Amino acid sequence: MQGMSERQYAAHVGLSRGAIQKAKTAERLVLYADGSIDAAASDRRRAETTDPSKTRKPPAPRLKPVPEAAVAAVGDTLREQGLAVPAVGGGTTFLQAKTANEVLKAQERRIRLQKLKGELIERARALALVFRLAREERDSWVNWPARTAALMAADLGVEPAAMQKVLEKHVRAHLDDLAEVRPDFR
In a domain, 14, yes or no: yes
What is the pLDDT at residue 60? 67
What is the pLDDT at residue 99? 78
Amino acid identity, position 155: D
Q: Are residues 175 and 130 in the same domain?
A: yes
Amino acid identity, position 20: I
Q: Are residues 165 and 127 in the same domain?
A: yes
Name the region of 66 (left: φ>0; alpha: ψ -120 to 50; beta: rest): beta
4 beta partners:
37
E strand or H helix that includes residue 12: helix 6-13
d(Cα 69, Cα 66) in Å, to the nearest integer? Answer: 8
Last residue of a domain, one of 98, 117, 136: 117
Last residue of a domain, one of 77, 101, 117: 117
Q: Are residues 111 and 127 in the same domain?
A: no
CA 73 vs CA 64, 106, 184: distances in Å: 17, 15, 21
What is the pLDDT at residue 10? 93
> For the whole model, what pTM was predicted?
0.38
What single DSSP character describes residue 50?
S
CA 38 vs CA 18, 20, 32: distances in Å: 18, 13, 6
What is the pLDDT at residue 39? 93
**Which residue ranges in the chain fall short of pLDDT 70?**
56-60, 63-67, 86-92, 183, 185-186
What is the pLDDT at residue 127? 85
Q: Which of 91, 99, 101, 102 is nearest to 68 (CA)?
A: 91
d(Cα 103, Cα 74) in Å, to the nearest integer? Answer: 10
Q: Are residues 96 and 138 in the same domain?
A: no
In a domain, 61, yes or no: no
What is the pLDDT at residue 185? 64
Q: Are residues 82 and 42 in the same domain?
A: no
In a domain, 132, yes or no: yes
In a domain, 62, yes or no: no
- Domain span at residue 144 reads 123-179
Write 174-178 long-range contacts (CB < 8 A, 24+): 174/141, 175/138, 175/141, 175/142, 178/138
Q: Are residues 141 and 174 in the same domain?
A: yes
- Number of domains into which the chain is organized: 3
In a domain, 87, yes or no: yes
Q: Are residues 147 and 171 in the same domain?
A: yes
In a domain, 56, yes or no: no
d(Cα 10, Cα 27) in Å, to the nearest integer? Answer: 15
What is the pLDDT at residue 59? 65
d(Cα 181, Cα 134) in Å, to the nearest integer? Answer: 11
In a domain, 150, yes or no: yes
pLDDT, tens digit, 9 for 90 and up, residues 104-127: 888 889 888 988 898 888 888 888
Q: Are residues 157 and 132 in the same domain?
A: yes
In a domain, 58, yes or no: no
Q: Are residues 128 and 159 in the same domain?
A: yes
Strand, helix or coil for residue 5: coil
